[in-house]
Amino acid sequence: MTRRSEELDELEQVEQTGQTREGLSTEDTLEDAASPADSSDLLAQLEAERARAEEEHQRYLRALADFANYKKRVAEQEARARQFATRELVLKILPIIDDFERALSSAEESQSFEALRDGLVMTLRKLMSVLESEGVQPIEAVGREFDPSMHEAVMRVEDSEHPENTIVHELQKGYTLASEVIRPSRVSVAVSGSSGDAGEE
Instruction: Say if 78 falls within a structural domain.
Output: yes
Please say which residue of 87, 110, 134 terminates a domain.
Answer: 134
pLDDT at 36: 54
Same domain, 108 and 56: yes
Instruction: Give per-residue pLDDT as tens, 128-174.
Output: 888 888 889 999 999 999 999 999 999 999 888 888 999 999 999 89
* Type of residue at 116: L
What range does the domain containing 145 cover? 137-200
Same domain, 120 and 166: no
Q: Give the C-alpha distances (Å, rounded to integers) separating 6 from 10, 19, 29, 105.
A: 6, 15, 21, 135
Span 44-70, average pLDDT: 90
pTM as predicted: 0.53
The CATH number linked to 166 is 2.30.22.10
> What are the residues facing 137 on neighbouring strands?
176
Inform me whether the pLDDT recorded for 24 exceeds 80: no
Share of the chain above pLDDT 90, in %: 30
Domain count, the chain: 2
Same domain, 148 and 119: no
Round the average pLDDT of the chain to a whole number and report it: 79
Name the residue with higher pLDDT: 85 or 71.
71
Same domain, 43 and 128: yes
Please say which residue of 134, 164, 180 terminates a domain.
Answer: 134
